[in-house]
Amino acid sequence: MKQKMRGIILIVLLICSQFLMIDAHSGRTDSSGGHRDNKNKSGLGSYHYHCGGYPAHLHTNGCPYKGGGSTKPKPNSSSSSSSKKNQVYATSVTKKDIREKGSKIGYKDGYALKDYNADSYSSTYSVDYKEAYEESFEKGKEKILKEKEEAEEQGYKDGLENNYNNKFSKEILSDAYKESYEDGKEKYIENKKIEYTKLAEEDCIANKTDRSFENVDETFVETYKEAYEQKHKEIQSEEYNNKGYNDGIKNKFDENTEKDYKSSYEEGYNKGKEERENILDIAYGQGYDGKDLEIDDKYNTIKSEIESAYQLGKKDSTKKMVIGTGAIGIVGISGVGIYRKIKSKKAIK
């Protein structure tokens, strides 16, 4: 009887030990070297690996170790360093590892200005991967954009100085430098043309014709020549306009004016002639009203004509007085014409 009871107790103990082993470990490894762990006894999630005989660990794309199952790898007798290396590789993949991976790839993509691609990873700790990726992606993008801005500023500055010095090896930065350099170079050329135009005008006004150019871009030499010629024409045109004005005051038109400046001369002449008529009218009115003759000295070229108009005004004023006393018959038709002339000149004044 005692022997029978001992046998029963032994069987119960064996069954209990099996249950304890099952509870402690959720089963044998599968063909991938891992197995389910629904109660997360290992703390690594619902599935982990034992491949290669290593303790419970995680992998992102299947177990890389040879052997699989729960068989422990044979120690490598070649060297102790090889054994230590295997221990390093056996380290389980942690959340920190995944975040570092996401951070590294995110920064690389952002710095390369690639499209946001955090969803490319969907294995263990994918949420942590995406968070790390996004944060580093923005940092990488911000970094390259700042460097691009600096390259553009340097390019424009060098362009303004006409000094090409592209030291950027990265394509996106090199292209940014080149583009901004061209903008700066364009402004440089514009500024230089303004400089040589001003120089040409100053030389023309001073009648300087011996300006020499050494090591000067032909573009700027041509700018100088064109500006000099243009200023010369402007000066000549102004001189002919003034000559025309003075001739108009004297009522003497010059038929021998150069063809290129004839329009300027005629413009000045018409203006001078109109002013001449106005001055003579004023002188006439002063004489007619019995006032002293007051005319600017700048009209001295026609002083005699002004005095004649003044005397004519005084004379016509006397005739008006004669008409007023009844001597209409003496003046006759010419008197009526003089009266109209007097009214007309008063109106002009």
Task: Divide the 349 residues of the chain into consecutive groups of 10 and give the mean pLDDT of each group.
Answer: 64 54 53 73 69 66 55 45 41 86 96 92 90 96 97 98 96 97 97 96 94 93 96 95 95 92 96 95 93 90 93 88 54 38 43
pLDDT value, residue 112: 94
**Residue 127: HSE in the Cβ half-sphere, 13 Å Cα cutoff:** 0
pLDDT value, residue 40: 66
**Residue 104: HSE in the Cβ half-sphere, 13 Å Cα cutoff:** 6
Token pair in block for residue 144: 């390259």
pLDDT value, residue 197: 97
pLDDT value, residue 320: 75
pLDDT value, residue 61: 60
pLDDT value, residue 84: 43
pLDDT value, residue 77: 44
Q: Which residues pair with 35 in a beta bridge?
A: 48
Whole-prediction pTM value? Answer: 0.58
